[in-house]
Amino acid sequence: MLALGKLLELTLAGREPCEKVQLTPRGVKLHWLADGALLVSPPPGQDYGLDLLLSAGIHGNELIPIHVLDRLVRALARGDVQPRGRLLLLFANPAAMRRMVRQVEHDLNRLFRGEHADVWGGEAIRAAELEALVGGFFSGAGRQRRHYDLHSAMRPSRLAQFAICPWRECEQVSAESLARLNRLAIEGVLLQRQATSTFSAMTATRYGAEAFTLELAEGSGESLPLAVTQFEQGLYLMIEGREAPVATHALPQLLQISREVIKRSPRFRLCVPTDIENFSPLPLGSVLAEDDGMRWVVDEPGARILFPMPDVAEGQRAALIVVPLERPEAGL
């Protein structure tokens, strides 16, 4: 295998490759740009106009997305996957990946859209570097721009795999975008209603990319969950320009955030089982959380819980209350 096919090994070891540019036997160009960053270009005459950014490892302990990206890099290097567009593949937070921790100093996925300028440390430097790499990648005019930032929710979910759609100021999410997510075995899409500083929010707002944070299925043991395998199969078809049509009735379920539950003191308590699944229904009138005299009572019909994390730092989000949306006739 080509040395650049071992990008994950290079990244975890903190080493630069001896050869920064290599060609696969089928003429695909692999170009090492920086720590954890690989640019993939199809042979001349085989580019159908897609710029696809795939990132994983923003949180260094989310292993399934890291393995998915590693498998793709190896498949490209072997010639098993023949791209018909340009790819930028990023292991986003090498320092956290080497320690197998969520973050070293700061949550990297909260440092984009200029937020890195207000903090110190390695993750702030990395956020600026990632923004520069993405700026160079998305510099071409007249090309389709997509970004899938791969994550793992770190707990079981009623929806095996789901996407988070960043807020867009002037844009609707198209049925075509949702159909593409369906081909990737994504069962639900959470629509954000305010601006954030995540990686996918940066690429969506700054470059107009079709950008989503994708939460891949959790699994146990060494084998990948079936939903993740289905995601890989759909991704390889997309990269090779061989996507199959999808019926509109099969589009993912749409949800939106109703409320955030913020931890405000050491006395904060989530009143749900510690092993509760993402998207578990919340009974009307039930108490979701308590904190220093404050109570969060569920008053939304159809409410579900997402990302329950009672051990976060004070001032951070400890859970989300989300509700399903009715699908509109056109647009979102």
Q: Give CA 65 to chain center in angstroms.
A: 8
314 carries a ligand binding annotation: no
CATH superfamily, domain 3-250, is Zn peptidases (3.40.630.10)
Active site residue 215: yes
Provide CATH 2.40.50.630 ranges for the chain: 258-324
Where along the chain do the CATH 3.40.630.10 domains lie?
3-250
**Tens digits of residue pLDDT in 158-192:** 999 999 999 876 567 888 899 999 999 999 999 98
Q: CA dihedral in degrees (125, 4, 221, 308; nearest 10)?
A: 20
Distance from C-alpha of 252 to C-alpha of 114, rounded to nearest angstrom: 32
- The three-class DSSP label of residue 94 is helix
* Residue in 210, 215, 218, 232 annotated catalytic: 215
Percentage of the chain modeled with pLDDT above 70: 94
DSSP string, 238-297: HHTT-PPP--GGGPPEEEEEEEEEE--STT-EE-S-TTPPBT-B--TT-EEEEETTEEEE
Kindly report, residue by residue over 225-265, the tens digit of the pLDDT.
Answer: 899 999 999 999 999 998 766 655 568 999 999 999 999 99
Does 59 appear as a known binding residue?
yes
Q: Is 249 annotated as a binding residue?
A: no
Protein fold of 258-324: OB fold (Dihydrolipoamide Acetyltransferase, E2P) (2.40.50)
Ordered per-residue pLDDT tens for the chain, 332 residues = 789 999 999 999 999 999 999 999 999 999 999 999 999 999 999 999 999 999 999 999 999 999 999 999 999 999 999 999 999 999 999 999 999 999 999 999 999 988 787 789 999 999 999 999 999 999 988 999 999 999 998 888 999 999 999 987 656 788 889 999 999 999 999 998 888 889 999 999 999 999 999 999 987 656 788 999 999 999 999 999 987 666 555 689 999 999 999 999 999 999 999 999 999 999 999 999 999 889 999 999 999 999 999 988 888 889 999 999 875 433 43
